[in-house]
Amino acid sequence: MQMTRAIFVSALELVGPTYRTFITVMTCIFYTIGILLLSGVAYLIRDWVILCYATTLPFLLFFIYLK
C-alpha cells in the first residue's frame, strides 16, 4: 500500500493543478483494472509460486529490454 501512495503522489506532482483531478481519476481506474486482472490471473494459476513468476516475469523482461 505504501508503494501505491508513492506512485499516486508522484503522478500528482508531475502535473499542474488543473489536471490533478483527471490524473487522480485515471490512476484509480488503472489501479482497479490491475487488481481485477490480478484476481483473474490468480484464479487461473492456483499455485502461488507460479503466480509470482507469472506476474513478475513480464516486468523483468521489460527492464532487461530497457537496458
What is the secondary structure of 11-50 as a DSSP string? Answer: HHHHS-TTTHHHHHHHHHHHHHHHHHHHHHHHHH---HHH
d(CA 51, CA 19) in angstroms, rounded, equals 36
Residue 13 confidence (pLDDT): 84
**pLDDT mean over 49-57:** 93
Residue 27 to residue 25: CA distance in whole angstroms: 6
- Between CA 55 and CA 42 the distance in angstroms is 10
Domain containing 15 equals 2-66
Band the pLDDT of 5: cuts 50, 70, 90.
Answer: confident
Give this prediction's pTM: 0.66
| % of the chain surpassing 90 pLDDT | 37
Instruction: Answer yes or no: is pLDDT of 23 > 70.
Output: yes
Into how many domains does the chain fold? 1
Dist CA 23 CA 13 (whole Å)? 10
Q: So what's the pLDDT on residue 3?
A: 65
